[in-house]
Amino acid sequence: MGNFAITAKELKCLLDNSWLNDEIINSYMALLRLRSKIHEGLNDTSFPRCEFFSSFFYAILRNAKGGYSYKNVERWGRRKNFLECDHILFPINVSNMHWCLAVVSPRDLKIEYYDSMGGENKTCVDLLERYMQDEGAYRKIEHFQSSWNKFFRGPPDVPEQKDGSGCGVFACAFADCISAGKDVKSFEQNNVSSIRRCMSSLIQSCDM
């Protein structure tokens, strides 16, 4: 699927009480990107215009002396038109223990961090702000180089995770809702098992 080869072993991550890995997260983001591009091609304004980065982006961005390197990722956004985006979605792997979702909204100069357990990852939003400022300098977009508004979205403003393994499902569900223009509170913990099954069916049935 796309650039990600999904194996039967990796699909087992979508069984109940299992932790999602990068391959599953990135494959699902690829599906959401495809959906977004289809609606964009149809001029369907009910869907926001979205771009998606892989989970590896953030790890590479901060893998440098000083904890930040634009040079490491400067080519990642070259084919993405940030000026026309409503949202740019970044799945965030926190210390290989927790999944969250960061959403950059260029039109509003806004960065939101969605955490199903209420964490506030200031380092992440600060690094993404710095990345967007560097992109602004490269693209000669003056307002990108100013300060961005930052928000942390956790319960009760978003559904609360009540298990120890569903964080990746929550991050994917947040991405699904946001990229479809839906309220992020349109699901809850009780829906996680059915979301896992839906994700598994979609990933197995789509040959991208």
Q: Please, what's the b/e burial string for 139-178 (b: 16 or more CB within 10 A of its CB; e: otherwise)?
A: eeeeebeeebebebbbeeebbebeeeebbbbbbbbbbbbb
DSSP conformation class of 188: -
**DSSP letter for each residue of 60-116:** HHT-STTS--HHHHTTTTTT--GGG-SEEEEEEEETTTEEEEEEEEGGGTEEEEE-T
Domain presence at residue 32: yes
Structural domain contains residue 2: no
Does a structural domain hold residue 1?
no
Sequence-ordered strand ranges (E) for the chain: 50-52, 87-94, 98-105, 110-114, 149-153
DSSP 8-state assignment for residue 124: H
Pairing mode, if any, of strands 98-105 and 87-94? antiparallel
- The reported pLDDT for the residue numbered 208 is 43
Whether residue 170 is contained in a domain is answered as yes
Mean pLDDT of 67-91: 95
Give the C-alpha separation, 93 to 63, whole Å. Answer: 13
Tell me whether residue 117 is in a domain.
Answer: yes
Beta-bridged to residue 113, according to DSSP, are 102, 152
In this prediction, residue 5 carries a pLDDT of 66
pTM of the model: 0.94
State how many domains the chain has. 1
Q: Would you say residue 69 lies in a domain?
A: yes
Could you report the per-residue pLDDT of 95-148, keeping only the tens digit for each? 999 999 999 999 999 999 999 999 999 999 999 999 999 999 999 999 999 999
Whether residue 3 is contained in a domain is answered as: no
- What are the tokens at 161? 């995770």
Q: Is residue 111 part of a domain?
A: yes
Give the domain CATH number at 58. 3.40.395.10
* Structural domain that includes position 90: 8-205
The order of strands in the sheet holding 87-94 is 50-52, 87-94, 98-105, 110-114, 149-153
Read off the pLDDT of each residue in 56-80 and give the average, rounded to a whole number: 94
- In the numeric block, which tokens belong to residue 69? 């390197």
1 confidence band (pLDDT: 50, 70, 90): very low
Q: What is the set of active-site residues?
A: 98, 115, 167
Q: How confident is the model at residue 6 (pLDDT cuts 50, 70, 90)?
A: confident
Task: Quickly state the pLDDT bin for 206 (edges 50, 70, 90).
Answer: confident
- Look-up of token digits 């990642």: 76
